[in-house]
Amino acid sequence: MGCVTPSHSRSLILVSVSLCTYTRKCKIPIKVRNKQGAIVGSQNITFQATEPVFITSKEISLNSQNLLISSCVLPGLDPRGQYPKKCQDNCFYLYNDFGILCCLFDGHGNQGEKVAQFCQRVIEQIFVLERNLLNSDPERFIKVATDKCDKELRGNNQGIDSEYSGCTGVLVYIESTSIYCGSVGDSRGIIATTMPPRVLPAPPANLGVEREILAGVKQKRKSFVETQIHSIQLTKDQKPEEPEELQRIVKCGGRVQRLTDNLGNKIGPYRVWKQNINTPGLAMSRSIGDLIAKSLGVISEPVCTSYKRTPGDLFIVIGSDGIWDAMDNDDVGTFVECYRNKCKSLINEITLEDNINPSNSCIAQIVCEEARMRWFTIVEEEDVIIDDISCIVIEIKRNAEVGVKHWKRPVPVEEVIEKDVEGEELGLRRAPTIKEISIRDPRRGSFVSDKVDGWPLEGE
């Protein structure tokens, strides 16, 4: 995708290491609001940050090139300690002589963690059984693998109820000349490269007020590198408000709405609902599992893309929405470039220390820790539960020496002002209402259930 090779110069990291130290003892001043939404004070909440449930770092040889792969799953938590939070993220990688298959699944619903683990077992089997297909047609392999996960989940005899449970999925296959990707839902993969893309990729959906909340902390914690980094999105997020996805859902009898509070303020993402019942509330238009949502136009077919590798490619980052809800693509790309050469290269076990920093962690964990640090700002403003955070980082080049000087720009005002999505008449109708603003919205992800008590429909 690159067209010009930049001049060679050593990359200079210009960021303070103090920004990249994460304590396990946390304190957040959460804003307290009255029923009218006005801030009337703040409440200090102290809690212990969760430790990773999975972390690994390994060097893998692919066609005489050594790639360093690290991965981490960081459980979410309720800072107030009122609601137990099961970790539902799962990521892993498989490899052979021809390529590396990286997979990430983000579960949701009561049995989302079981769905994510089930998908791993299916992928591990098909990776062995369909080796020839993977080598000859990686895109077809990704579609077959995702379809197999969904179909076997419906007919499984392992006691997993997937009516209101499911998961997102990202599969990325890296071979010597190309990268093949498939995604279902809103987990995402990016590649950081010094080669400017011929065609600028479409930006992710505007996060509106959520971007505004994070804009301040982004500027405080921004990273600077001398090398110019282009963070190219490899996958496509599948949101129910996107025109093509919306049209299919509406045609199948579903409706797409956001929640509103008692003052009429829109809350959280667009969700998929039945016409006259507040269920299932799925915040994506494609997923594995979610049988009830499947009757409303939600599908499991992945959106597949491919990328031709270039000499300027530096690393790939695959993450759950716990990453992307707190950091944008450019943020993640620049952050990883700043710290990856400072991190431990090989890790075989979880490090339990009071403070996490690059000297005792792999880059995948540091990315997850940074995303959680930015989540604290969201919690301070909105009193929400922190989502599970997971990622895989595949370093193609260590100590890259290509690049030109690049400085991060501030986020323009127009990027942080919420804009209404056009097409209300196509199915983006008014949402169920939360009666009390003090109710803590499950802002990201899906609460998928058979009933949402107390949220009547308005204007139907």
How deeply is 333 buried, as exposed, middle or buried, from its count of CB atoms within 10 A (0-12, 13-18, 19+)? buried
CATH tag, 18-240+300-405: 3.60.40.10
Q: pLDDT of 58-88, one tens digit each?
A: 999 998 889 999 999 999 999 999 998 999 9
pLDDT of residue 107: 97
Considering the entire predicted model, what is its pTM? 0.84
Residue 451 in this model has a pLDDT that exceeds 80: no
Task: State what percent of residues in the chain have pLDDT above 90.
Answer: 62
Considering only 339-343, 400-404, 412-416, which range has the smallest mean pLDDT? 412-416
Q: How confident is the model at residue 433 (pLDDT cuts 50, 70, 90)?
A: very low
Place of tokens 């990707």: 181
- What is the mean predicted confidence (pLDDT) over 233-256? 95
pLDDT of residue 405: 36
Q: pLDDT of 161-193, one tens digit each?
A: 999 999 999 999 999 999 999 999 999 999 999
Task: State what percent of residues in the chain have pLDDT above 70.
Answer: 79
pLDDT of residue 108: 96
Give me the helix-helix angle, 112-129 and 138-154, nearest 10°.
130
Residue 246 in this model has a pLDDT that exceeds 70: yes
Q: pLDDT of 122-148, one tens digit each?
A: 999 999 999 999 999 999 999 999 999
Rounded CA gap, 49 and 363, in Å? 18
Q: In this structure, how many other beta carbons lie within 10 angstroms of the beta carbon of residue 121?
A: 13
